[in-house]
Amino acid sequence: MTDTAEPEVHAAGEPLLDLLNGFIVELREAGLPVSLTENLDAMAAIEHIPLEERETFKYALAATLVKNNAHWRSFETVFEVYFSLRGAKYGIDDDSLDPDLADLLDDAENDGAGEGQSGQSGQGGGDALTPEELQQLLYQAMMKGDEALMRAIARQAVKRFAGMEPGRPVGGTYYLYRTLRNLDLDNLLEKMMEQRRQSAEDAGEPMSPLEERLEKDEYEHRVEALKKEIEAEIRRRLVADRGVEAMAKTLRKPLPEDVDFMHASREEMVGLRKALIPLTRRLAVRLARKRRHNRKGPLDFRRTVRASLSYGGVPAEPKFRHPKPHKPEIFVIADISGSVAAFARFTLMLVYAISGQFSKVRSFVFIDGIDEVTSFFEGVEDVTEAVHRVNTEADVVWVDGHSDYGHAFEVFHNKWGKEIGPKTTVIILGDARNNYHASQSWVIKEMQHKARHVYWLNPEPKSYWDTGDSIVGDYGAHCDDVFECRNLRQLERFVEHLT
């Protein structure tokens, strides 16, 4: 990058090392495990990579500080906050903004002139544009995928539409919403697709559905990029206004494995689902390995004799038979009423993803009625789809669609109670909020009598148990164990315990 930027940065504020220290403290606050050696490594690393090479600098810090890819997002957020104002190119400088845009504008105009779309002059810079003109400009930039122009427009849009005022205690999402509302991106996407279709038809080659789909993906990608630009710009301005520490604190988010199932936002849900796949893979490998390396069994005579041949007939290396480990049979009984649905979904997905570790898995879902859903999962490779079917097709409503554990258990006992045997492990998922119906906890007692284990997983924090209409204590008395299971970390620990 530019050499001239260097002195400016050092003049701008505290030395880099102090900044780095604050940065690492914030990472630890956010839950990332950063050890002292890693801290030292990071300090050594930044001596070799200048701050001006932003991307490389970011990766260099990440390489020394973040040793788990799931933590990357948290790292990136903190990085943005701490370093977004560093470096000349990234500072907030409204004066430079307008000529910038004006330059780009001129370029765009010149390009546009060939297509006969030039309407206005760019002499006055960004501020002189009417909103319609800005919109038009954005449209052109997006059609061409011109990143520099998109960035300039994003900054301009934030400046103009977000209505940011220093010291105003409003979250970044509010500003984001205001900016996006003014830009009307959905409409823009529509318009772009329309335009693309039109031009394809004009050329005499209408787009095939595949092409159309690809173009749409491309445009969506660009819109996403624009949104990110806008978000980054808002964040930059907020940091400038409120200072680094305060901003970092408001943006702090839990790591994916610590996200609470019951309160996850839509975005966090997507993150959770993504985190689930590698988790199941890891879990399956670990469990299979544990099984193989388990304690030794009785002497394997045949293999011992064979091994002895390489020692001249002396059985120097005894071989043992590995015991065939017992594979549990699993009954999952899950409450899928609104409040705990997400939790049930995750647990079902997890259990089925590692179903190879169990001899049999049967699943039942209930709200106030109960239904067996095992068949939805049979021969289906895509667990997500099966879970979706569970949510839409299972017959779980008996009277009013409010959780009634007692009735559900009673029906379960009458219909399937006999099938629980000594090899069965029963896992019940739910918050035991029974809407003050009868608990019928004798069913659980029966189960415990017949089954190998009965476990209850409760997605509520322990302090909420047995408050209000929660009667988890009633049921828990008859279970082998009741676990609090609020996030992936706890769920993983339980599954490992299970096998």
Which amino acid type is present at position 102?
A
Decide whether 67 or 326 has the Cβ nearer to other proteins: 67
> Comparing C-alpha atoms, which of 465, 433, 452, 447 is closest to residue 499?
452
Q: Based on CB atoms, which residue is closest to other proteins, 77 or 458?
A: 77
Q: Which is nearer to other proteins, 73 or 360 (CB)?
A: 73
Q: Between 2 and 68, whose beta carbon lies closer to other proteins?
A: 68
Residues forming contacts to other proteins in the complex (CB under 8 A) are: 33, 35, 37-38, 41, 44-45, 48-49, 53, 55-57, 59-60, 62-64, 66-69, 72, 208-210, 213-214, 217-218, 221, 273, 278, 281-282, 285-286, 289, 293, 379-382, 384
β-bridge pairing 329-335 and 453-458: unpaired
Can you tell me the distance from the alpha carbon of 480 to that of 270, in angstroms, rounded to the nearest whole number? 33
Per DSSP, 124 falls in state T
Residue closer to other proteins by CB (options 71, 237) is 71
Shortest CB 47 distance to other proteins, Å: 8
Alpha-carbon torsion angle 348, 349, 353, 356, nearest 10: 10
Nearer to other proteins, 160 or 273 (CB): 273
Q: How far is the CB of 358 from other proteins (least distance, A)?
A: 20
Closest approach, Cβ 400 to other proteins, in A, equals 34
Which residues have CB under 8 Å from 480's CB, separation 6+? 448, 453, 454, 455
In the bound complex, what is the minimum distance in angstroms from residue 40's beta carbon to other proteins?
Answer: 10
Quote the CA–CA distance of 233 and 155 in Å, as a whole number.
Answer: 6
CB of 459 to other proteins, least distance (A): 24
Angle between helices 94-114 and 147-161 (to 10 degrees): 130
Of the two residues 63 and 399, which places its CB atom closer to other proteins in the complex?
A: 63
C-beta of 19 vs 380, nearer to other proteins: 380
Q: Are 434 and 404 in contact (CB under 8 A)?
A: yes
Q: Are 172 and 242 in contact (CB under 8 A)?
A: no
Query: Look-up: residue for tokens 């509010």?
Result: 174
Output the CA–CA distances (angstroms, integers) from residue 35 to 41, 79, 231, 276, 378, in the order listed. Answer: 10, 18, 31, 27, 46
Q: Which is nearer to other proteins, 13 or 278 (CB)?
A: 278
**3-class DSSP state for residue 77?**
helix
- At 454, give phi and psi (nearest 5°): -125, 120
Nearest-approach distance from CB 155 to other proteins, in angstroms: 23
Strand order across the 329-335 sheet: 370-372, 360-366, 329-335, 424-429, 453-458, 481-484
Encoded amino acid at 69, one letter: N
- Least gap, CB of 268 to other proteins (angstroms): 16
Nearer to other proteins, 210 or 314 (CB): 210
For residue 10, which amino acid is it? Answer: H
Taking the C-alpha atoms of residue 127 and residue 246, their distance in angstroms, rounded to an integer, is 31
Q: Whole-number minimum distance, CB 212 to other proteins, in Å?
A: 10
Phi, psi for residue 88 in degrees, rounded to 5: -60, -40
Distance CA 315, CA 61 (A): 56
Decide whether 286 or 445 has the Cβ nearer to other proteins.
286
* Whether 23 contacts 82, CB under 8 Å: yes
Supply the minimum distance, in Å, between the C-beta of residue 56 and other proteins: 4
Give, in order, the Cα–Cα distances in Å from 185 to each of 141, 309, 354.
13, 76, 42
Query: Taking the complex as a whole, how short is the minimal distance between the CB of residue 405 and other proteins, in angstroms?
Result: 33
CB of 206 to other proteins, least distance (A): 12
Angle between helices 72-83 and 16-29 (to 10 degrees): 140
